[in-house]
Each structure stands twice: as C-alpha cells, then as structure tokens.
Amino acid sequence: MTTSALPQLMGVVNVTPDSFSDGGRWFEPGAAIAHGRDLIADGADILDIGGESTRPGATRPVVGEELDRVIPVITALAADGATVSVDTMRAEVAEAALAAGATMVNDVSGGLADPRILEVVAAAGAPYVAMHWRAHADHMRDFAVYDGPGGVAGTVRDELSERVEAMLAAGLARDRIILDPGLGFAKHGDHNWQLLRDLGPLQALGFPLLVGASRKSFLGRLLADAHGTARTVGEREHANTALTVHLARQGVWGLRVHDVRAARDALRVVERLNGEEHGS
C-alpha cells in the first residue's frame, strides 16, 4: 500500500478574455479575486494566476496588458495569505509578480520564450515550473511531431533535460525545479495519452512533476458523441477526476486543475485508500 504524499492542488485563475477552458469568466479583477478565494475555500494549495491565453491559435497580449491583468489579482490574493504562482512566459511579468507577492513562477515555455526569466527566478530563489514547450500558441500545432527513437515520453524527457541544464546554468537551485510534460502543447491527442500512460521516463529525471490535464481538448475528443462532436469544456470534469486518481497514484507532485472541489474530493478518496486515517 502506497503512503506517498498527495499531490498539491494548483487552482487555475485565468485573467484572460480567451483561455480555451474558461476564457472571459474571470477577466475582471474583482471576479478573478473572488474566484481565487472560492478555489482556496474548495481546497486549493496554490493559486496559478495567468494573463495570457495559451489556447492553440491565440495571439499574445502585449506585456503592459498582461501586467494590468495579473498584478492586481496577485496583490489581493497574496495579501489574503494564499500561495500564489504566476503563469507567465515573460521575465518582466515574473519580476513584477514576485514583487507583488507571488512566490512561484509557472512558465509554460520552460525559459525558451524569454530566457531572462531564469535569472529573475534564480535571483528570487522561487520555485519554478518548467513545462515542455516548443512554440507559441499561434503555430504550436506545426511542431507536434515525435518520431525519434524514444517516442513522445523519451523526447519530452530529453527536451526538458536540456531546459534543466539551462536553469542550472542560470543559477536556479536544483530543489526549486518542477517539471511538467505540457499536455496539449505541441501535442496531438495520442501524444497526451502516451505521456499520461508512461510518466516513468520523466520521473526518472528526479524532479517533482506537475501535470495539467484539466478540461483539455483531448478529454473532449475522448468523450465525443456518436457524431464525433467533442464533449464541451464544462462537461469534462468526470474524466479529469479519473485522471486525478491515476496521477495521484503515480506520485506526481502537483495537479493544475480548474475544479478544485472535484479534485480535492478525488484526493480524499485516494488518501483513504492509502490507509491514512481521517475520521470515518
């Protein structure tokens, strides 16, 4: 019976007009702050606040726009005492977010989009999530090719391993690094399933893993109806709950989720099955 620690739950606060999962819902700062508070009440360990949509085909906000979106929300939620991560690829945004109270940086590009971000994070001594990434959202689909001998799992491992070298060279401490396979980023449906099935090569690198499967389109396609129409974003939660249990049992460090309450319920079940006594 495994008794490994349960994953950290990172609740998503997208302060964007166009994220594919929840674009526009929390675009006003007041709505985003209230949503962050709800996620904490639901059991989030970390709030991940982002101002740039990475939906396939999305165009990037300019840096001033991104700052205007995230900084007021980070300031308010950090002042509440929440553990705040900023979801950004930009050094300037990471720097301002850390000054506003964020204590973690989640960079979907793993330092490729703006290499200076690594120096900013190293100087702050903050934990850094480096996701597997190949290109910006407007053309990432062109890069979804994994025909090397290691398959998708081996290729993602090798490319993240190169990013780790860059992080260490920039001065990040090894124990501040968290890796993420980047589900849905320059990956077709089957690539995501192969990664979920076989996290072993990535885990063998020896870093904690964060995984973000919540509401992604590969779940919508899995659950497509008889006409092949993908299940809508809001109706993919049960599939994500199944993945929450699967990933918790694989020993991942964290899960990036939209519905924290559902994920927390699933982790309670895992905890009970692991034999940890907690009431009835």
φ/ψ of residue 177, rounded to 5: -95, 130
Q: Does 70 bind ligand PMM (CB under 6 A)?
A: no
Parallel, antiparallel, or unpaired for β 84-87 and 210-211? unpaired
Residue 277 burial (10 A CB sphere; 0-12, 13-18, 19+): exposed
Tell me the C-alpha distance between 214 and 223, whole Å. Answer: 14
Q: Angle at Cα 214 formed by Cα 213 and Cα 218, nearest 5°?
A: 60
**What minimum distance in Å lies between the beta carbon of 79 and ligand PMM?**
23
**What minimum distance in Å lies between the beta carbon of 277 and ligand PMM?**
33
Size of the site for ligand PMM (CB under 6 A): 19
Q: Which residue in the set 180, 199, 247, 255 belongs to the binding site for ligand PMM (CB under 6 A)?
A: 180
Q: Does 12 bind ligand PMM (CB under 6 A)?
A: yes
Q: Does 146 bind ligand PMM (CB under 6 A)?
A: no
**What minimum distance in Å lies between the beta carbon of 64 and ligand PMM?**
21
Taking the least distance from each CB to ligand PMM, the nearer of 51 and 101 is 51
**Catalytic residue of the set 256, 261, 264, 268:** 256
Residues of this chain, 242-261, that bind ligand PMM according to CB under 6 A: 256
Taking the least distance from each CB to ligand PMM, the nearer of 106 and 240 is 106
Q: Does 183 bind ligand PMM (CB under 6 A)?
A: yes
Tell me the C-alpha distance between 16 and 61, whole Å. Answer: 9
**Catalytic residue of the set 69, 134, 216, 264:** 216
Task: List own/partner pairs for 31-40 with CB under 8 A and 24 or more apart.
Answer: 32/73, 33/72, 33/73, 33/76, 33/77, 36/11, 36/73, 36/76, 36/77, 36/82, 37/77, 37/80, 39/11, 39/13, 39/260, 40/11, 40/80, 40/82
Residue 133 burial (10 A CB sphere; 0-12, 13-18, 19+): buried
Which of these segments, 15-23, 33-41, 59-67, 97-105, binds ligand PMM (CB under 6 A)?
15-23
Q: Does 164 bind ligand PMM (CB under 6 A)?
A: no
Residues of this chain, 194-213, that bind ligand PMM according to CB under 6 A: 210, 212
Q: Is 268 a catalytic residue?
A: no
Q: Does 21 bind ligand PMM (CB under 6 A)?
A: yes
**What minimum distance in Å lies between the beta carbon of 137 and ligand PMM?**
9
State the CB neighbour count (10 A cutoff) for residue 3. 8
Q: Is 187 a catalytic residue?
A: no
Q: Which residue in the set 49, 131, 170, 219 belongs to the binding site for ligand PMM (CB under 6 A)?
A: 131
Tell me the C-alpha distance between 206 and 252, whole Å. Answer: 11
- Binding-site ranges for ligand PMM (CB under 6 A): 12, 14, 19-21, 54-55, 87, 106, 108, 129, 131, 180, 182-183, 210, 212, 215, 256
User: Catalytic residues, which ones?
Assistant: 216, 256
